[in-house]
Structure 1
Amino acid sequence: MFMDISSEMIHALLPLFLTATLGASVAVVGIIEGIGESTAAIVKVFSGYLSDRLGRRKPLILLGYGLGAASKPLFALAGAPGVVLAARFADRIGKGMRGAPRDALVADVTPPEIRGRAYGVRQALDTAGAFIGPLLAIALMALLADDMRAVFWFALIPAGLAVLCVVIGVEDRAAPQEGAERRPPVRLADLRQLDRAFWGVVAIGVVFTLARFSEAFLVLKANEEGLPLALAPLVLVAMNVVYSLGAYPAGAWSDHAPPQRLLLAGMGVLSAADLLLALVPGLAGAFLGIALWGVHMALTQGLFAKLVAQNAPASLRGSAFGLFNLATGIAMLAASIVAGLLWETHGATATFIAGAILACVAAALVAGLGRTAPPPGD
């Protein structure tokens, strides 16, 4: 939660900082966002492998949160888009270092019958930070006469608190091992233990992510419809309030409902959000689409984490999260670059129409594959 507060204080203002202050194009914003997210995904593969090999999660979680905190001053000091890219790169390496071990640790310490709820709680806390951060950014923008660099400096405070929480509050739990000797999981013989159900989840996650490009485009859309610079963080506030309120109920629903049902619901909501953003003019249409974007995140993000944990052997759980995040991170890179180029050449409407079409393709893939995981509790 604290790290999300810090990151979203910056992220809520970053697209407009890049375009209005540093003179970057929307295509450059898409490239920076895509590179950042794909970097996190690639690093998650190795952090997941390492946490499985070591049988410990906390050291990598601490390293990841520490690097995330250390990257924050670069945003405040940036004088060109390249420096922002470097800061985003360092921040996302930190996210990658902590992401897979953290998600695997949740599964390590949670009984399978309430795992959906556990990921729902984790997602709700993440997302609470993701709307508290933009609210703080709005307040600080008012107090500091719209000085975005000063807001970025304040983001160091919650980042430091996040690191402190890991140091004093996180209890490590060794990942379950099938034998007495821990073996490096970076071997094809081990990866063959990940069966068709797991790779089905990966395939759906990739197509789904292609439809769900960076939230930076939501900020740019609202600004294009007339939202003032100082109120730009309201975009992420609106999305993440809905996301946070829905994450736990969606997690509880996933504990007793077929995963296919939730995935289809999430993809339908994403398609509706994209169509509203594409076709309904004005701030009212933009914010309704943004709220629905939050609904689809609540329905799907915790569910994907649960499905990865449910369809991977306990001894390869960190590796499985790393592989899933690698695949979806590469998809996010492609989606954000294409979204930025579409915006530059054909406008915002084309970007969101393309997202709606891809959400329908993902829904068709879910319907075609059927259930991608055993029933809850298996």
Structure 2
Amino acid sequence: MKKKKIFGIPKNVFLLGIVSFLNDMSSEMITSITPSYLIEVLNVDKLLSGTIMGAIESLSSLFKVIFGYISDKIRNRKVFVSFGYFLSTISKGALAFTHSWLDFLFLRVLDRLGKGIRTAPRDALIAESTKKTGKSFGFHRMMDTLGAVVGPILSIIILELLSNYSANFSYRMIFLLSFIPGILSVLLIIFFIKDTDKNLKKIIMGKSSLNSESLKLFLFVVAVASLGRYSYAFTIWKVYDVGYTVIQGLYFYIIFNIFYAITSYPIGTFSDKFDKRMFITLGFGIAALASLIFAFADSLWMLLLGFIFYSVYLAIEETIPRAYLAEIAEGFEKGTVIGAYHTVFGVFVFPASVIAGWLWQSYSLEYSFLYATVMNSLAMFLMILEWVLKWKS
């Protein structure tokens, strides 16, 4: 039976895009103010701030391979997707009642656990619902990032409306209001998203792609690149370092997400026509360039250039690797393979932010970004080397 489409997008993919739009709207209402909340309200120092952001970025990924594997075994993606989004929604609203960095970290880790539970099964569900993986993952990333545009705008509006109140009160109101789009996304999953055809249960177990040398090498490169993947918070702290205010920092973040959103879908669609590894290699190079610009940024135009390049890098690296792995993974292990990718990323992105935070506190933000430049350049070189060796053989 022909799968139903909405605006040329498979129905499941389209609806999951709406879910991600609502959830990321909720998330980005919070993440856009987190850097200033940690320093201004909770009085956390630079090293600890970097460590907390690294933990938040990393811990969700540690669970992704586990729940990707379980969803492969029981062939039910929806239960993990819905529960993961629900857990994240509850934890975000509860941030309004935090009073120390410890309870803040606990709730953010709970949110990331929700992400860890849902991400690999959701990505596998997208992959199983489409034949054009690049286009579908690009659409999903675009919708996710459009939510990341709306979220900070809502935060700005709330901060302006509550300008006569303390920052402490304003931030807590944002945390509470973030619950609304989050719970709408959960209801959409429960009532409208469908698992893929139950015939998937009949997929015959075959040779695992996890044992292939090319996948192992790719995951090694991912590990190297992840060591240079600093939290988005460092770009916001750079904006403050140059001399801009919290609200002005939110405007930079909105510009970043606009470019992220408008480039994700065309990049994903275009990648279906070429070798996806070429795009991944280019992404590492763009990441190195963005980090180099951030290192020496001391003006409006340099900050804007840094955010634009960083947005294009994320549009590539948050879209193409998933599509690439969905193509090379066997049908019975898509959740496991995609989860393995996320887990490798999570293991190594945590020390990346700790190192960046230490360099910031011990020297300056310039050194944090220069370190990221080196690691992303190394990842790009390794991808090129893999291409050369494969060509010679």
TM-score between both structures, scaled by the size of structure 1: 0.92
Q: Choose which of 292, 297, 306 in structure 2 pairs with 1:289.
A: 306
Instruction: Give, in whole Å, the separation in 2 of the partners of 1:190 and 1:74.
Output: 45
Percent sequence identity over aligned pairs: 28
Partner of 1:349: 366
Q: CA deviation at 1:124?
A: 0.5
The offset of 1:193, in angstroms, is 5.0
Q: How does 1:236-275 map to 2 (within 5 A)?
A: 236-275=253-292
Kindly indicate whether the alpha-carbon contact (under 8 Å) linking 2:359 and 2:365 is maintained by their aligned counterparts in 1: yes
Deviates more, 1:194-203 or 1:335-344: 194-203
Please say if 1:159 is aligned against 2:206.
no
In structure 1, how many angstroms separate the alpha carbons of the residues matched to 2:304 and 2:47? 23
| Contact in 2 for aligned 1:3/1:158 (Cα 8 Å) | yes
Structure 1 distance, partners of 2:304, 2:218, is 30
Q: 2:200 is aligned with what amino acid? A: P
Deviation track 1:343-369 (CA, whole Å, cap 9, x = no partner) reads 111111000111111111011010011
1:168 — aligned with what? 191
**Cα shift at 1:204:** 2.1
One of 52, 58, 67 as aligned partner of 2:72: 52
Residue 3 of structure 2 is matched in structure 1 by none
Q: AA paired with 1:349?
A: E
| Aligned mate of 1:368, from 374, 381, 385 | 385
Taking the TM superposition and a 5 Å limit, the aligned residue runs for 1:29-44 are 29-44=49-64
> Which range is displaced more, 37-46 or 135-144?
37-46
1:214 is aligned to 2:228? no
The separation in 2 between residues aligned to 1:24 and 1:232, in whole angstroms, is: 19
Give distance in 2, aligned partners of 1:295 and 1:354. Answer: 20
Q: Distance in 2 between matches of 1:268 and 1:179?
A: 39
Hey, what does 1:132 align to over in structure 2?
150
Paired with 1:214 and 1:262, the residues of 2 have a C-alpha distance of 22
From 137, 144, 149, the equivalent of 1:119 is: 137
Q: d(CA) in 2 for partners of 1:175 and 1:77?
A: 46
Greater Cα offset, 141-150 or 336-345:
141-150
Shift of 1:278: 0.7
Partner Cα separation in structure 2 for residue 55 and residue 229 of structure 1: 45
C-alpha distance in 1 between matches for 2:238 and 2:102 = 23
Partner amino acid, structure 2, of 1:250? I
Determine which of 319, 335, 338 is the counterpart of 2:336. Answer: 319
**Contact 1:194–1:313 (CA under 8 A) maintained in structure 2:** no
Aligned residues: 365
SS in 2 for 1:232: helix
CA deviation profile, 1:42-97 (whole Å, cap 9, x unmatched): 11111101100111100000000000011013321111111110111100000001
> Secondary structure at the residue paired with 1:213?
coil
Question: How far is the alpha carbon of 1:264 from its aligned partner?
Answer: 2.6
Instruction: State the distance in 2 between where 1:358 and 1:267 align.
Output: 9
What secondary structure does 2:194 align onto? coil
The C-alpha deviation readout for 1:105-142, integer Å capped at 9, x for no partner, is: 0111111xx11101100110111111111111111110
Would the alpha carbon gap of residues 372 and 321 (structure 1) be closer, same or farther in structure 2, given more than 3 Å must change?
farther
| RMSD over aligned Cα atoms | 2.0
Is residue 242–residue 294 contact of structure 1 (8 Å, CA) maintained in 2? yes
Pairs within 5 Å for 1:45-194: 45-111=65-131, 114-145=132-163, 146=167, 147-173=170-196, 174=198, 176-177=200-201, 193-194=210-211
Give the direction of change, closer, same or farther, for the CA distance of 1:263–1:78 in structure 2 (3 Å limit).
Answer: same
Residues 225 and 372 of structure 1: is their aligned pair in 2 closer, same or farther, counting only changes over 3 Å?
Answer: farther
Bigger shift: residues 256-265 or 75-84: 256-265
Q: CA offsets, 1:163-215, max 9 Å, x none?
A: 111112211114835657xx8xxxxx975654222223212222222222110
| AA at the equivalent of 2:299 | G
Listed as ranges, the gaps of 5+ residues in structure 1 are: 184-188, 374-378
Q: How far did residue 251 of structure 1 move?
A: 0.6
Decide which of 307, 322, 325 is 1:308's aligned counterpart.
Answer: 325
Structure 1 residue aligned with 2:6 = none
User: Are 2:203 and 2:331, in contact at CA under 8 Å, matched by a contact in 1?
Assistant: no
2:9 aligns with none
Distance 1:252 1:371, change over 3 A: farther
5+ residue gaps, structure 2: 1-20
Aligned to 2:13: none
User: Which stretch has the larger CA shift, 37-46 or 54-63?
Assistant: 37-46
1:49 and 1:278 map into 2 onto residues whose CA distance is 40
Alignment-mate amino acid for residue 91 of structure 1? D
Distance 1:315 1:372, change over 3 A: farther
* Contact 2:209-2:215 within 8 A present in 1 as well: no
Deviation at 1:270, TM superposition (A): 1.2
Do residues 13 (structure 1) and 33 (structure 2) align? yes
**Kept after mapping to 1: 8 A contact 2:210/2:337:** no
Instruction: Assess, with a 3 A threshold, how the Cα gap between structure 1 residues 2 and 371 changes in structure 2: closer, same or farther.
Output: farther
Query: Are 2:62 and 2:343, in contact at CA under 8 Å, matched by a contact in 1?
Result: yes
Q: Which amino acid aligns with 2:134?
A: G
Counterpart in the other structure of 1:27: 47
**Superposed CA offset, 1:23-49 (max 9, x none):** 101211221122222221111111101
* Aligned match of 1:376: none
The answer to whether the Cα contact below 8 Å between 1:212 and 1:355 also exists between their aligned partners in 2 is: yes
Quote how far apart the aligned CAs of 1:327 are: 0.4
TM-score with structure 2 length normalisation?
A: 0.88
